[in-house]
Structure 1
Amino acid sequence: MAKALKKQALGRGLSALLKDPDNDIKSIEDNNADKVVGNIIELDIDSIEINPFQPRTNFNEESLNELATSIRELGVIQPITVRKIDFNKFQLISGERRLRASKLVGLDTVPAFIRIANDNESLTMALVENIQRHDLDPIEIALSYQRLMDEIDLTQEQVSDRVGKKRSTIANYIRLLRLDPIIQTGIRDGFISMGHGRAIINVEDLDIQTEIYHKIILESLSVRETEALVKQYQEDLKTSKIPELPKKAKTFEVPATYTKSFGEFFGAKVDIKVSANGKGKISIPFHSEEDLNRLIKLLDN
């Protein structure tokens, strides 16, 4: 208990150091930087801004309330990580759930590890730490890997080294981003699993992808059943058979009663045609100027 109080007091003492404008720490070379960087310090919650690089976008409200209850009873056990961006101003690198829950409880301060990092380093740290520490959904993880490649200019091999995962694992996650957005949302919301998504990705046609997706949900198909369905679809394509899940035709049949009703209304033989793309036209013949005026009068009425 004494050690815990001493550590807490030390954190508060360092907090006062960060609020000294005459000794503002801007880089790792500045005086007292070694006392701040990498240490746990109690920071004012109002001095911390949310990291725009945060990969997590969904926060389960029930889970957040449970964490808030834990923090109310036990305090923040695991410090958040921030980077110093200005005098007494910090940007969150990781720990947004803990920060949000602390605000729900009404805490004024929160324990934090201090880092001094540029934007690229901050992005890398945020993505890597969040991937490793939190229950991001598969699509959020895939987006995080993709951002490391696009914004930090890393290869899949380098991403693999940074996050400690096999390159094949990185590739499997990134391939999920080739799924139709509707299916990606389904994975994020938990309607289907990553295993389902990995099976569907083998179908290039996005329309067929979504039809398979809806079939999985309606019939509660397992991953193995989904793999069999995709395999059957691919075999049907090879043998030039009509796939089990064909595209829906856009054309349609015009009921004879429609043509009859139009004809009776106009007093003429009306022709209704529909093309393959679902568009069509209605032809109403007339035999003289008087006949045309008659039709126009009918429309005016």
Structure 2
Amino acid sequence: MAKATKKQALGRGLSALLKDPSNDIQSVADKNADKVVGSIVELELTAIEVNPFQPRTSFNEESLRELASSIKELGVIQPITVRKLDFNKYQLVSGERRFRASKLIGLETVPAYIRIANDQESLEMALVENIQRQDLDPIEIALSYQRLIEEIDITQEELSDRVGKNRSTITNYLRLLKLDPIIQTGMRDGFISMGHGRALINIEDTDEQLSIYEKVLGKKLSVRDTEALVRDMKSSTPTKTPSAKKTIPSYAKDAKKELSTLLDRKIDVKIGSSGKGQFVVPFADKEDLSRLLKLIKSEK
């Protein structure tokens, strides 16, 4: 108990230090920065703004209320992480659920780790730290991986080192973003699992993806059943073999050109394997057809 009291007192002391304009810390080289950066500090909730780089886009209200109840009973056990923006002004890096839950029960302060970082470093910290959490859904994780690759400009191999995941794991998550948006939403809402999504991604046609997705929901199919359904659909789909392009004889090409000029429109010619062929003459309506007939008759 004595240790906890001392820790809280230290946090309050550091909070007072941060509120002193003469000790405004902007970089790790500033005076007293070593006392603050990496330490647990009690910060006023009103001095903290939400991080726009937060990968989580939705928060379960019931889960948030449960967390708020736990915080009310036990306090904030795991401090949030913030970065310093300006004098007595901070931005969340990670811990938005704890931040929201603390506001929900009317707390005035919250324990926090303070970091000093620029926007890109903050984005990377937010994404990497949040990816490690267990409560992100597969699509949120996939979007976080994608943002790291695109905005931090790193390869999948480098990302693998940053987040401590196999490259194949990262690839599997990123492939989920190729699913139809309706299916992605279903995964985010918990209607289907990542295993279902990985099975559905093997169907390239989005209409067929949605057709199987509806069956999965309607019949409450397991991942194994879904994989079997996908295999059956792929095996029953006839493979289209490209037909050899037939060469049009020069005499037919010349006739096509002459007829196109005469009728003032694009003419198509088809030649069968036996050498027999036909011309296809398009027309817009009855009047256009009458005009074509007159042109042909006048050439007799």
TM-score bracket for this pair, using the shorter chain length: 0.7 to 0.9
Match of 2:237, SS state, is helix
Name 1:85's counterpart in structure 2: 85
What is the CA distance between 1:239 and its match in structure 2? 5.1
* 1:196 and 2:192 matched: no
What is the CA distance between 1:133 and its match in structure 2? 2.3
One-letter code of the match for 1:33? A
Distance of 1:224 and 1:157 partners within structure 2: 30
Distance of 1:73 and 1:28 partners within structure 2: 36
Larger radius of gyration: 2
Distance of 1:88 and 1:239 partners within structure 2: 65
TM-score by length of 1: 0.78
Q: Deviations over 1:280-299 (max 9, x none)?
A: xxxxxxxxxxxxxxxxxxxx
Q: Name the Cα RMSD after superposition.
A: 0.9
What is the CA distance between 1:230 and its match in structure 2? 1.0
Q: How does 1:77-156 map to 2 (within 5 A)?
A: 77-156=77-156
Name 1:227's counterpart in structure 2: 227
What is the CA distance between 1:222 and its match in structure 2? 1.1
Name 1:277's counterpart in structure 2: none
What is the CA distance between 1:207 and its match in structure 2? 1.0
Q: Deviations over 1:3-22 (max 9, x none)?
A: 11111101100001111111
Runs of 4+ in structure 1 over 3 Å off: none
Match of 1:38, SS state, is coil
TM-score by length of 2: 0.79
Match of 2:161, SS state, is helix
One-letter code of the match for 1:39? S
Distance of 1:233 and 1:55 partners within structure 2: 35
Q: Deviations over 1:184-236 (max 9, x none)?
A: 00000011111010000011111111111111111111111111111111112
Distance of 1:99 and 1:90 partners within structure 2: 12
What is the CA distance between 1:159 and its match in structure 2? 1.0
Name 2:5's counterpart in structure 1: 5
What is the CA distance between 1:134 and its match in structure 2? 4.0
Structure 1 residues 134 and 112: CA distance shift in structure 2, 3 A: farther
Distance of 1:225 and 1:3 partners within structure 2: 55
Distance of 2:153 and 2:67 partners within structure 1: 35
Match of 1:133, SS state, is coil
Match of 1:154, SS state, is coil
Name 1:34's counterpart in structure 2: 34
Distance of 2:115 and 2:238 partners within structure 1: 56
Q: How does 1:254-265 map to 2 (within 5 A)?
A: none
Q: Deviations over 1:85-124 (max 9, x none)?
A: 1110000000000000000110000000000011111111
Q: Deviations over 1:120-164 (max 9, x none)?
A: 111111011111124100000000000000110111111111111
